[in-house]
Each structure stands twice: as C-alpha cells, then as structure tokens.
Amino acid sequence: MKNLNICIAGLGNVGSAVVGLIDKNSQYIKNKSNLTINIIGLSAKNRDKERNFNVTNYKWIENPIDLLNINDSKPDILIELIGYEKGVSYELVKTALSQKIHVVTGNKAMLAMHGQELFRIAEQNQVSLLFEAAVAGGIPIIKTLKNNIFLNKIKKISGILNGTTNYILTTMETQNKSFKDVLHDAKKRGFTSDNESKLDIGGYDAAHKLTLLSTIAFGGNVDFNLNKVEGIEKITIEDINFVKHLGFRIKLISESFLIDDMICSSTKPKLIPLDKPMANVDGALNAINVETDQLENLYLEGEGAGGLATASSILSDIFEISNNSKFTSIGYNINDLKKYQKFDSSNLESKFYLRIRVKDQPGVLSKITTYLNDSNISVEKILQTPDKKENNIPILIITHKIKTSELLNSVNKISDLEFVNKNISIIPIE
C-alpha cells in the first residue's frame, strides 16, 4: 500500500469537494489504486465557515506557507485552490516547487500569466505542476492534449470555456431577460461573484484557459498578451432574438490556430449556426473542439465548473502523480517550446452580422445598401424589421466574407451618417 501525504490551500466549493471525495471514497481508492491519501493539513481564510465536512478532523494551518512544513515533514503534493494571479497563491506554488513538492492547481489566471516560470521551476526540481482542473472543469482536455493525442498535429482548438457566460447567454434567450438581470441571477446562484464576474463576462477567464490550451496544443511559449479578448457585455436580448431568427445562436468562443510562425488567439462572441453542436451547448456546460491532422475533429462537452466536476479533475492529477507518470507538466520540455509572434487578426476574413438602427424614414434602406456597395461590402442577406415602439428601426445584415479591418473602417463611416444610430452591433460568424 502506497501512502501519499497531501495538503490543501483554499477551501471553497472545489477544495471542500476534494476533501469530501477523499473522505467518502478512501476505501474505494485503496481497493482501486492501492493508494492511501492522507490529508495532513488544511488552510483557508475562514476556519469557521460552514462546510460539507468536519474541519476539526484535520490539522488546520493559519498561514498557507506553513503547509509546506508540518511537524518537520513536507507533503508529497500541495493542492492550491486559492486562486488569483499573484499574491499568496503564486508565492505558495513557487516555494512548493522549489522545495521539490508536487503541485496540483486549478488556478488558470496564475498559470496563464506566470506558467512558463513555474513550469521551468517544476522541471528543474523534477516535480509535477498539474492543472487539469484549471480548464473546463470535468472535461479531461489537458490530459487529452498532453497524453492521448500527442502524435496528432493540432490545427486549431476552439470552444466554450466559461460556464458563467454560457449560462448568461442561454438564460437571456430562454427567459427573454436582459444581460443585467441575468448577471444578477448568476451571482445569486453562485455561478460567479462580484470579484469574478469581470473576469467572466469580460472574456478574460476564458482567455486564461485558452492560453494554457494553446501552450500544450502548439508546443509554444504562449504569452497571455497574444490573446485578443472581447466579452459579452454588449450583447443585447435584441441581438439574441434576431440572430436566432436568422439561424444562429451567440456564444463566447475561444479559439487558437497557427499561421506560419504566428499564433492567432482570440476570445469573443460569435454567431454559431444552429446545426453545429456548439450552438446547442446550454447552461453552464463547456465544449471544446480540437482539429487535428489524423483525427480531424475531436469534440468534448461536459460540466465546465462546479465543485464535484472540478474536484474529480484534482483527484485525477493526484493519481497521475502517484503513478509516477513520465509525462512532463505540459507535455514538453520548457527549452523545447517555440516562440510565437502574434498574428494581426484584423487581416482575417469572416462573415459578419450587423445590426444597424436607423431613423424610420423613406429611402434609408436604399441608402444603406448603396453605401455598403460603395464600401465593397458584399451583402448575403439584409432584413428590415419594423419596431413600433421606437422612432428608429433595426436593419439586419449578413455579409459575405470580408477582412475585419475593412469592415470596421466601413462601419465607422456608416455610423457617422445622420440617420444612423451610432451603436452598431458587429458580431463575426463562425
């Protein structure tokens, strides 16, 4: 029987779920893996907070850094679930790795911003820094990329990587509620918080995750700043209803692919055709599609957040370490990682959805059409929708493929026309 001593820093939903899973399944773990997991120390902000287990059954450590030396003994594994890019979580992980202690974390912000440094420290000290829980909760995407399809050349990775934004967009559509109202509801349900919501709805949480996936998928030293990030704050119930009528749904899509020695990486709202699987991913679910040279499309969908789903990923990493896996933390030696430059996404071509509100007067649609033609914007579909509640009306446009830069230049000119409302909605189409 193998003994594994672990300590846990951070006892929110995920940390508490980890303790509960180990506690309730200790005998099953012993029978299945011949492993005894001993929790030798816990640390969190509030010891007295109500949790799903009895805190008094475990050794409580006030200062997280002291978890690394309990009764003159080091743990085998540190589980870091504090969160945040810097501060105590970063110092704790860095110190643990330097002391040859394995680390399992769900902290995507820290790894997206400081991963290269921390992976290097782990490699130098011959320990693992594993992070299955950092991306897509219960979907085993990290192990899939790192271990299971490593012989495939990955062409593109894309997906819905933030459950909160997907829940908001889904609920706006199904309950015909405003963004503001659904965000308030999401906070009440615990999907996000005041501190987290800016990262969620601004697209940064998903972009952090995409940075990690891109690093593994393309074997590159991918800097977070290579991402182009746009959130869902500007998405209106009006647009959601309009695009559904046109055969689309709006999703916050993160995608990354290579063009020569450059990487094009973005997180932004996109229109997904209703016949595509990702258009039908509802609620807080996540979905990831990996395009490869051998498997073509590998599609994964499942719980992207939640205590139990994410805790199961933590346990998976613990078992990987206990089995003395030969895989590195990211599937590559740090010195072998390629350095990619940022591709200017404004040079990419795409179809676009435009919603232009104009004054309700004769000849406006003709003027807009003429202006689009003069601007070399080829229109696939155009609709004028009456709106009796307003003294202006929406014109809906689906363009043919056009460079982003050319479209934006033309839209800026259109917004200056005296009969046009300046708040033009622009969303690319998958």
Cite the active site residues. Answer: 209
Please give the full DSSP string across 234-282, using - where no structure is assigned: T--HHHHHHHHHTTEEEEEEEEEEEETTEEEEEEEEEEEETTSGGGG--
Q: Are 78 and 41 in contact (CB under 8 A)?
A: no
C-alpha to C-alpha distance for 227 and 229, rounded to whole angstroms: 6
User: Torsions phi, psi of 97, nearest 5?
Assistant: -65, -40
Instruction: List the end-to-end C-alpha distance of the chain, in Å, as a whole number.
Output: 52
342, amino acid identity = K
What does the longest C-alpha to C-alpha distance in the chain come to? 83
- The token duo for 190 is 């615990």
Query: What three-state secondary structure class fits 81?
Result: coil
Q: What angle do CA 35, 39, 44 make, to 5 degrees?
A: 150
Give the position of tokens 């120390």: 41
The answer to whether residues 95 and 63 touch, using CB atoms and an 8 Å cutoff, is no
CB contact at 8 A, 140 and 301: no
Residues facing residue 426 across a β-bridge: 354
Angle between helices 179-188 and 194-201 (to 10 degrees): 130
Give the ranges where 280-357 is alpha helix by DSSP (H).
307-322
Phi, psi at residue 158, to the nearest 5°?
-150, 155
Strand partners, 350: 402
| Cα separation, 158 vs 173, whole angstroms | 23
Burial class of residue 1, CB neighbours in 10 A (0-12, 13-18, 19+): exposed
Neighbouring-strand partners of residue 86: none
Q: 313: phi > 0 → left, psi -120 to 50 → alpha, else beta; which?
A: alpha
Output the six-digit token pair for 7.
């300590």
